[in-house]
Amino acid sequence: VDEISFDGQVAIVTGGGRGLGRGYCLELAARGASVVVNDLPGPDGRGVADDVVAEIEAAGGAAAAANETVSTREGAQAIVRAALDRFGTVDVVVTNAGVMRNGYFEEITPDRLDLVLDVCLRGAFFTAQAAWPELRRKRYGRIVVIGSAGGMFAMQGEANYAAARGGSYGLMKALAFEGAEHGILVNALLPVAPGMSSMDAPVPGWETYAPAGLMERLAPFQRREAVTPMLVYLASRACTLTGEAFSASAGRYARVFVGLTPGWAAGDDARAEDVAAHLDEIRDLDGFTVPRNLYDELEAIADALGVA
């Protein structure tokens, strides 16, 4: 495999001032990208993004800070403008900014839902949308939408976050479809790594629900650096995939997908009781497929009905 290089390319990483995002910025810059590091501004307008920029520049790389919120259209546009003004283009967008406001379902107030949707979902939407015209213009783009196992597989105490992250998956699929004809490839990365800094309280209930000793067994391997290689691949020229999701944690990399069973073709006169009687067939995973898009699903329905 050839060395993966970002020479001559410009990458935007939202929420790049801390945690996983900071690691993505440093690695992309080390591999030759000019990096726009986005994060929230501090009280004086400067922010953690400026520290990451200083780190990159000290190592001989090129970077610029964009101290804006992703959660408004104007903020996202300013982040993309920073890339255009400073480096002249955008090639890579990593929608990594995120927050958690955890609690059991009945405790999640509208403001705790709104903030999480605003940053995790609307932030990714606005940032990708702001970059889209430039990516279309140059007929090249790599967008990596950061998602979460919390949205795809679920756990307790974070229904707001799960709703947002489920949305991240749907956003990725839609952008992959629309981007394909413009040379824009869009995939999702679902990391698991040491604790997020931007949550105000831990996810409740680990002691109750997590299998005993599991977190302790994994902890030694869950370094942030063990997520970055998958991000770098998906963001690179080498990546030819689109519309796919990958889990990365502790040095284990895997594909995450939504599949479809062959199902049960009843015709149009089935009753609820017939459905109940055929659940085993409806749910049988044998011969499942992974539709790339809604048209694959419609084809599968036509196949099942014998009207293909």
Ligand X SMILES: NC(=O)c1ccc[n+]([C@@H]2O[C@H](COP(=O)([O-])OP(=O)(O)OC[C@H]3O[C@@H](n4cnc5c(N)ncnc54)[C@H](O)[C@@H]3O)[C@@H](O)[C@H]2O)c1
d(CA 148, CA 133): 27
Among 25, 35, 97, 248, interactor with ligand X by CB under 6 A:
97
Among 11, 34, 93, 96, interactor with ligand X by CB under 6 A:
96
Among 9, 14, 127, 187, interactor with ligand X by CB under 6 A:
14
Q: How far is the CB of 95 from ligand X (least distance, A)?
A: 8
The single-letter code of the amino acid at 26 is L
Name the nearest CA neighbour of 113 among 127, 100, 132, 94.
100
Q: Are 29 and 63 in contact (CB under 8 A)?
A: yes
Name the nearest CA neighbour of 13 among 117, 124, 105, 175.
124
209 is an active site residue: no
Q: Which residue is catalytic, options 24, 104, 140, 161?
A: 161
Nearer to ligand X, 21 or 61 (CB): 21
Among 146, 175, 203, 234, interactor with ligand X by CB under 6 A:
146
Question: At 93, is the secondary structure helix, strand, or coil?
Answer: strand
Nearer to ligand X, 50 or 140 (CB): 50
Q: Considering the rule CB under 6 A, would residue 19 count as an interface residue with ligand X?
A: yes
Binding footprint of ligand X, residue count (CB under 6 A): 28
Q: Considering the rule CB under 6 A, would residue 116 count as an interface residue with ligand X?
A: no
**Which tokens belong to 23?**
């690691």
Q: x-or-dash pattern for ligand X, window 23-52, by CB under 6 A?
A: ---------------xxx-------x----
**Which tokens belong to 97?**
């900014």
Contacts of ligand X in 147-206 (CB under 6 A)? 148, 191-193, 196-198
Which span (28-36, 53-61, 95-103, 250-258) binds ligand X, by CB under 6 A? 95-103
Q: Considering the rule CB under 6 A, would residue 70 count as an interface residue with ligand X?
A: yes
d(CA 212, CA 33): 42
Name the nearest CA neighbour of 11 among 30, 229, 122.
30
The single-letter code of the amino acid at 236 is S
Tallying the residues shown for the chain, one arrives at 308
Q: How much of the chain is helix, strand and coil, in % rounded to 5?
A: 45, 15, 35
List residues binding ligand X (CB under 6 A): 14-15, 17-21, 38-40, 48, 69-71, 96-99, 119, 123, 146, 148, 191-193, 196-198
Residues marked active site are found at: 161
